[in-house]
Amino acid sequence: MTETMLTIEMANTLTDWYRKNKRDLPWRNTGNPYDVWLSEIMLQQTRVEAILPRFIAFRRALPDIAALAACPEDELMKLWEGMGYYSRARNLQKCAVLVRDRYQGTLPADPLELKKLPGIGDYTAGAVAAIAYGLPVPAVDGNVLRVMARLFSIREDIRQPETRSRVSSLIAGLYERHPDLSGSWISDFTQGLMELGALVCIPNGAPLCTSCPLQLFCQANKNHETAVIPFRSKQKSRRVIPMTVLVIRAGDRFVIRRRPSDGLLAGLYEFINLDGHLAPDEVITELERQKIRVLHIRSLPSAKHIFTHREWDMTGYEIMIDPEQTIPENWQAVTEKELKSLPVPSAFDAYMNCYDLRES
């Protein structure tokens, strides 16, 4: 018989599996909603393995909401360096300020209140409410969508909000039928769905069905449909943006500038860059327009950096100028030590690494 609801037998089977097989992660079992919230924001668009050391460093530097709210912007961006989507860090701080001022420094449990805060949508509100507070609220991320789509043979596009709503309704239905479920069970079940999607019902490659606690319930497995479920429509192709990156050296200093306070990589520091792929003589001409006299120019390796909807295709040059040269007002010459301490996005890693400018 085809299942049309998430049964307590399925849910208990998954929760038992989670309790025996869950990974030891630093934000689990701390009893601190701050840890759940911070980890969920960090995990957006980022793998667990990539954020583990960053979470620990961030948490050590900013141990609570009050510390996050008071953190200087450059320090915050430096702590976030390498995780991308820097607007997440700014929203974290905006949220922390509001929580400090309105909720006595503790994240509210009510998902409706949570969704009023910057950077918190349906999923993050559900995750904090269910995992940190044990409330019967669905939390549907990509892992949960994949698990539930296969479990119930849902063929609709999982990019569509209607599909997410259907999955949320299946989870909400379980809670409605079983109102006496404990908070700790709800927390473990919620994390179990996510963990199963991360470790077994994996996003890339064939799912590990023989290791899945829900194998006997899974309709996609029974019907040999795991290769085609879930269905995910294609995203629009990325726009490729050619650019020329200039590592300008003024004696023992590097010339950089700060990006605008809004838009992509807002407020972070970058090497001077120009539109298009320019030849050496074109670079010299462009700098002369800025009244910069080039003493020497040499090629650096080309590099690419992929964002969600765009790709930077970079040509690079090292430019030597006179240390006494006047530079434009919005540029600044900094020492190697100063540059290492500033938040420079990972898009420029290829050029930072040419000079060993990342802190080890």
Indicate whether 309 and 252 sit together in one domain: yes
* Inside any domain, residue 50: yes
- Asked if 197 and 246 sit in the same domain, the reply is no
| Cβ contacts of 257 within 8 Å, gap of 6 or more | 269, 270, 272, 330, 331, 332
pLDDT for the residue numbered 278 = 96
Q: Same structural domain for residues 207 and 284?
A: no
Name 254's bridge partners.
249, 334
> pTM to 2 decimals?
0.84
Hey, is 94 helix, strand or coil? helix
Beta strand segments in the chain, E: 239-250, 253-258, 269-275, 294-306, 310-321, 331-334
pLDDT confidence of residue 246: 97
Q: Is residue 229 part of a domain?
A: no
Residues 157 and 273 in one domain: no
C-alpha–C-alpha distance, residues 34 and 202, integer Å: 27
**Domain shared by 265 and 175, yes or no:** no
The pLDDT of residue 263 is 86
Claim to verify: residue 81 and residue 44 sit in the same structural domain: yes
d(CA 255, CA 234): 41
Whether 40 sits among the annotated catalytic residues: the reply is: yes
CATH no. for residue 254?
3.90.79.10
Domain membership flag for residue 227: no
Q: Which pLDDT does position 46 carry in this prediction?
A: 80
Pick the catalytic residue from 3, 9, 40, 81: 40
Same domain membership, residue 259 and residue 141:
no
pLDDT at 29: 84
Domain for residue 31, yes or no? yes
In the chain, the number of structural domains is 2
Whether residues 130 and 15 share a domain: the answer is: yes
Low-confidence stretches of the chain (pLDDT < 50) are 1
**Is residue 231 a part of any domain in this protein?**
no
Q: Residue 287 corresponds to which tokens in the numbers above?
A: 């700098």
- At residue 238, the pLDDT reads 87
d(CA 328, CA 56): 39
59 with 115, same domain?
A: yes
Residues 53 and 167 in one domain: yes
Residue 203 lies in a domain: yes
Domain housing 299: 239-354
- Do 64 and 161 lie in a common domain? yes
CA 342 – CA 127 distance, rounded (Å): 32
pLDDT digits (tens, 9 = 90+) for 29-43: 888 999 999 999 999
For residue 233, being part of any structural domain is answered with no
pLDDT for res 360 = 62
Rounded to the nearest angstrom, the gap between the alpha carbon of residue 168 and the centroid of all alpha carbons in its chain is 22
Q: Supply the pLDDT for residue 31.
A: 85
Residues 204 and 59 in one domain: yes
